Amino acid sequence: MYDYDLVVVGSANADLVIGVERRPAAGETVLGSDLAVHPGGKGANQAVAAARLGARTALVARVGEDPHGRLLLDSLSSAGVDTSAVAAGRAPTGVALITVDPSGDNSIVVSPGANGRLTPGDARAAERVLRSAPVVSAQLEIPLETVTEAVRLLAPGTRFVLNPSPPRELPAELLEACDPLIVNEHEARVIAGDGTLGDGPEEWARALLALGPRSVVVTLGAGGAVTAEADGGVTRVPSVTVDAVDTTGAGDAFTAALAWRLGLGESLPVAAGYAARVGAAAVTREGAQASYPTAEEVAAL
């Protein structure tokens, strides 16, 4: 019935990664490891993560006509992602500057580059692709108006999954389309406003659900996740204990796995449980896309 299992609308970046003993304070210089360059960006990450799991996946994005752009296109294609809706030009490929400390925690600064030139017109040009999957996912490393336009183009019955990262205030039209809205604690507080979330993740999920999404998932890292649905209550989803090496891109792996499993007809808590295992597997390896597991590796976890 569908050409794809999942279509991702989002960013594609080159990740420039340096390991550090500790992140510098203001005005301080610290020495780090050799620079490593990896394909990344939340959109490309999600597309590769889903394809690695076995989903038929397409990406709607924009890269530069430069070596970083070619790196991304090669990585996407080798993972099995359809890149027919990835445009090139208008600006250099986006770049993420990432420092990773010994615990695996990271800090990231993003230069959007071509991602900032992914326009509503690009979404309209990709309408056939957007209407060719049961689930479409997006993030906010591309212009908000492009995400909104993509939602308007979806076929009736298509499920829209949004991870609002980096977070910002969302219009009601976009919030009401989310099924689910996927956030961590920081993103939840930005979207809902400090002081309105309550004392724990279950209360955060309920508060966000009251803003209009059809469902909500709050991710808790090693603590798993909480799901909330208007007609299904609130469910705590456990994670898997692993030795974390690098958390870069783990949230993208979680979102991709969740979106794919929802498209297969799984319930939100069951899909979130699977996604938590995928995210746990991803943090045991360095990098973003290079860390994403196959379905067989997730089953063995």
Radius of gyration of the chain (CA): 18
- CA distance to 140, 221, 269, per residue, from 183 (Å): 12, 11, 15
3-state SS, residue 139? coil
For residue 295, give every residue at least 6 positions away whose Cβ sits within 8 Å of its Cβ, in sequence order, or none. Answer: 53, 54
Q: What angle do CA 132, 52, 146 make, to 5 degrees?
A: 45
First-to-last alpha carbon distance for the chain, in angstroms, is 32
Evaluated on CA atoms 86, 256, 158, 203, the torsion sign reads: negative
For residue 93, give every residue at least 6 positions away whose Cβ sits within 8 Å of its Cβ, in sequence order, or none. Answer: 12, 13, 14, 63, 64, 66, 68, 69, 72, 113, 114
> Is 179 an active-site residue?
no
125: tokens are 């040009």
CA distance 178 to 171: 11
178 φ, ψ (degrees, to nearest 5) = -70, 130
Looking at the annotation, which residues are catalytic? 252
